[in-house]
Amino acid sequence: MIGQPFEVSTQAASWLFTEESLSLCRKQAVKERNGKRARKFASGFDQRSTSTGSTTVKPSFPESDEDNLLPPFDIFEPRSNRTGLTADEQDVMIRFHSHQMSMVIGPNAVLPELMRSASVLATAVMLFRRFYLSNCVLDFQPRRVAIAACLLASKIEEEKVPIGALEHATEIIFQRVKGVQLCREELGSLSARDIEIAEKQLMEGVNYQFICHHPHATIQSLVSEIVHSDFFLDDHHEHPHPTDATSSYRPKNSFDLRDQRRVELENKAMMVAQSALLFSDVPFLFSPAQIAFASLSMALACCDMCASGTTTSLLAGSIHPTLHKYIRSKFAGKPESKVVEFEEEVVAITHMVVRSPVMDLNMLSMWAGAQRREEVVAHQAEELRIVFRKVSHLRSPIAAKLSPKPQQSFRKRKAEMPPMTQLGRSSFVSPSPVSNSKIPKVTPNRVSSASA
């Protein structure tokens, strides 16, 4: 649900960063533990830090919210990590749980009643990732926040889901992974009460800024316009006969061919956008329109790779020729410098997505062999195992420290005391051994009367 243009939205004002400010937020999120109340300093962080005109001073935080003011620190001179967790390790956890959310809600949900549009899943992932720009996985269990994000996103996008279905989905997934200890700890089943509590924490952690803009609608309109343009058919050599301005002849299946191309391009572009949302920082650095153009450029390149079996078109470092022609024709009235700058940003997104070590583009084409895919999956699995073990180790002493120790009853404590044969006898003199059966049962009343 979009209530206002992106340029004037809270996403543009508070949730767009530079690479430097985004890295600083993540480091601060894991630097110190916060307790039960969620922090939200990431909201508007880049705007506050750049408003001073210098990157060598501390960014200001809202003075009206003292609970969200961080302890005194110099964010540009990091101190020792007090949580024991690094920003990269937390990012591994966030990527894992973001990917698992696609099984809970969205087009590929495990339960039919939780199948919703891709926009609901995208909103849930964005809210989840925003939350952990200010908070640590040691303070808030990611599984609870992720499921709460699914519930909240369904309300925001006006595609509501019953909380009982989410509770059931977590149980189904837990039954599938309960044989693996590390996954069992991270993907436990949740109650409706757990989800409701986490939803309140999530809303506070994102500073009550819920609206998320996505590239899906832009991708659909772009694909429709490009596929039905003449230069698309020219670039892909799909004119089966000479045509001129007076010819009214069209092949019988020409529209079917265009529809097939449209569906193929749209699906691939959507998959690129979804992968970028889950595994890269692109949504925090660029606008949805720029991401849509980059996703379509990569989808066009993947179509070329399927035909030629090479990676040149994807890694060439320039925008796809078909999309370049479209941009030039669509924005012919714009200044040349603006058009060039826009194309450079689209290329930058493409580079960021392709070079991400966790991106999986094998689903788009067959240019990478099965062996390379197995190597990538094995590397990611080993990375997850290492981080899971560390997080589990860090949580254990924290949980033991925070949980209250059980109190012994008065009778049990009295039974563990050494037998007293003579009241008033010095405590430094050991009592003579006496059989337990001969020891009279001492009650609080008798002790008080003897003392009197």
pLDDT tens string for the chain (452 positions)?
556 788 888 999 999 999 999 999 999 999 887 777 899 999 988 877 766 554 433 443 443 444 444 433 333 334 444 668 899 999 999 999 999 999 999 999 999 999 999 999 999 999 999 999 999 999 999 999 999 999 999 999 999 999 999 999 999 999 998 888 778 888 999 999 999 999 999 999 999 999 999 999 999 999 988 887 766 655 554 444 444 434 444 454 555 677 788 888 899 999 999 989 988 999 999 999 999 999 999 888 887 777 665 555 555 567 888 888 889 888 888 899 999 999 999 999 988 887 776 665 555 543 444 444 455 566 677 788 888 888 888 877 554 454 444 455 445 545 555 554 444 444 444 445 545 555 555 555 544 444 44
**Is 228 found in the same domain as 91?**
no
Start-end of H helices in 2-86? 10-14, 19-29, 45-51
Whole-number pLDDT of residue 83: 67
Q: Among the three residues 329, 345, 367, which one is the final residue of a domain in this structure?
A: 367
Q: Which of 310, 334, 367 is the last residue of a domain?
A: 367
Contact at 8 Å (CB) between 421 and 434?
yes
Query: Are both 45 and 74 inside the same structural domain?
Result: yes
Domain contains 442? no
CA angle 64/200/31 to nearest 5° reads 65
Q: What pLDDT score was predicted for residue 316?
A: 54
Query: Domain residues for 332?
Result: 216-240+257-367
Q: Which of 318, 349, 367 is the last residue of a domain?
A: 367
Q: Residue 323 region, left (φ>0) first, then alpha (ψ -120 to 50), else beta?
A: alpha
Sign of the C-alpha dihedral computed for residues 256, 258, 262 and 268 taken in this order? positive
pLDDT of residue 360: 57
Q: For residue 240, how far is the Cα from the chain centroid?
A: 46
Whether 189 is in a domain gets the answer: yes
Domain annotation covers residue 351: yes
Same domain assignment for residues 194 and 323: no
**Same domain, yes or no: 179 and 309:** no
Q: What is the CATH number of the domain that holds 94?
A: 1.10.472.10
Distances (CA, A) of 106 to 98, 211, 364: 12, 17, 20
Residues 178 and 262 in one domain: no
Burial class (CB in 10 A: 0-12, 13-18, 19+), 429: exposed
Question: For the chain, what's the residue count?
Answer: 452
First-to-final CA distance of the chain: 77
The verdict on 147 and 12 lying in the same domain is yes
- What pLDDT does 366 receive? 38
Per-residue pLDDT at 76: 36
What's the rounded Cα separation, in Å, for the pair 5 and 82? Answer: 41
Query: For the chain, how many structural domains are there in total?
Result: 2
One-letter amino acid for residue 303 of the chain = C
* Domain assignment of residue 114, yes or no: yes
Question: Please, what is the Cα angle at 293 between 217 and 232, to 5 degrees?
Answer: 100
236 and 157, same domain (yes or no): no
Q: Examine residue 431 and state whether it is found in any structural domain, yes or no.
A: no
In a domain, residue 89? The reply is yes
How far is residue 52's CA from residue 451's CA, in Å, rounded to a whole number?
A: 73
Whether 197 and 331 share a structural domain: no
Q: Write the DSSP string, 344-395.
A: HHHHHHHHHHHT-TT---TTT-S-S-HHHHHHHHHHHHHHHHHHHHHHHHHH
Confidence (pLDDT) at 234: 54
413 in any annotated domain: no
**Same domain as 128, residue 89:** yes
73 and 21, same structural domain? yes
